[in-house]
Amino acid sequence: MKQKAPEAIAQVPHSFCQGCAQGIVNRLIGEIMEEMGAADRLVVTTDVACGAMNVEVWKYDTIVGAHGRPIPAATGVKKVRKDVLSVAHLGDGAAYNIGLAETMHGALRDDDVLVLVLNNGVFAMTGGQTSATTLLGQRTASSVHGRKAEVEGRPFHVEEVLGKMDIAYLARCSVDSVPAIRTAKKYIKKAFEKHQRGEGFCLVEILTPCPTNWGLSAVDSMERIRREVIPQYPLGEFIDRGGND
């Protein structure tokens, strides 16, 4: 049965590549907003990377932050408008490369913001260069023989860095299959509910494919997430402060 798309996602032509998962994440956010009756209270601050193309489809109030700075921008939104839900929506490059200091300080202050990191393991928007989460051995536009720890450094794991901090929520999910998408929705919704209650810094990392820069088909990209990415980036909830859901 074909389900109706969330009202807040405009059914218009968009600029995403075939097989991109930005649309899956949009669908989950849209469904959650409808379930919470909160679509008109959502402000999304996205990054200048691939996520910025969402301005064509999101009917939410939207800000495009400077590269790597959606987290402090979204925190500022929440500080002056307590009545809204304020989401920072950004990629792995934004959250863990150029914006790592902002991610760290947001977590150290336990800022009242919900962070969604779409981790596709590359700088997709700029042509698929190595990012913080590119796997060792993975070929990218800037590591053509495969990432080497001694050249590009080791991959970044958010749970190793934020996993012992006093923050409200930290989880990683994936969109590689229907069961995975259901779990992703559960984690993202829990983070939204915590954010609505003002519990503090919430970060959900979502493993997403980038068929274009991975040089794979849409189907093979999902298979790669299962075969190569998840074994290195385990799924689950790392912090659930208070444990209330």
Ligand X SMILES: Cc1ncc(C[n+]2csc(CCOP(=O)(O)OP(=O)(O)O)c2C)c(N)n1
Say if CB 203 and CB 162 are below 8 A apart: yes
Q: How far apart are CA 228 and CA 6, in angstroms?
A: 32
Question: Could you tell me the smallest distance in angstroms from the CB atom of residue 241 to ligand X?
Answer: 27
Q: In the set 50, 88, 204, 229, which binds ligand X (CB under 6 A)? A: 50
The 3-state DSSP composition of the chain as helix, strand, coil percent (nearest 5) reads: 40, 20, 40
Question: Could you tell me the smallest distance in angstroms from the CB atom of residue 10 to ligand X?
Answer: 20
Q: How many residues does the chain have?
A: 245
Question: Could you tell me the smallest distance in angstroms from the CB atom of residue 166 to ligand SF4?
Answer: 32
DSSP run (H or E) holding 136: none
Beta carbon nearer to ligand X, 155 or 200: 155
Cα end-to-end span (Å), the chain: 29
Q: In the set 6, 72, 91, 128, which binds Mg ion (CB under 5 A)? A: 91
Residue type, 224: R
Beta carbon nearer to ligand SF4, 5 or 53: 53
Q: How far apart are CA 245 and CA 243, in angstroms?
A: 6
Site for ligand X contains 20 (CB under 6 A): no
In three-state secondary structure terms, 63 is strand
Say if CB 218 and CB 18 are below 8 A apart: yes
Question: Could you tell me the smallest distance in angstroms from the CB atom of residue 93 to ligand SF4?
Answer: 11
70 binds, among Mg ion, ligand X, ligand SF4, none (CB under 5 to 8 A by kind): none
Site for ligand X contains 143 (CB under 6 A): no
Beta carbon nearer to ligand X, 67 or 194: 67
Q: Tell me the C-alpha to C-alpha distance, in Å, between residue 205 and each of 5, 119, 171, 181.
A: 23, 7, 6, 13
Q: From the CA atom positions of the chain, what is the Rg in Å?
A: 17
Residues that bind ligand SF4 (CB under 6 A): 16-17, 20, 22, 50, 120, 124, 210-213
Question: Could you tell me the smallest distance in angstroms from the CB atom of residue 241 to Mg ion?
Answer: 27
Which residues in the 124-153 window bind Mg ion by CB under 5 A?
Answer: 124
Question: Could you tell me the smallest distance in angstroms from the CB atom of residue 228 to Mg ion?
Answer: 16
Q: How far apart are CA 51 and CA 153, in angstroms?
A: 26
- Can you give the binding site for ligand X, defined by CB under 6 A? 47-51, 67, 90-94, 98, 118, 120, 122-126, 131
- Can you give the binding site for Mg ion, defined by CB under 5 A? 91-93, 120, 124
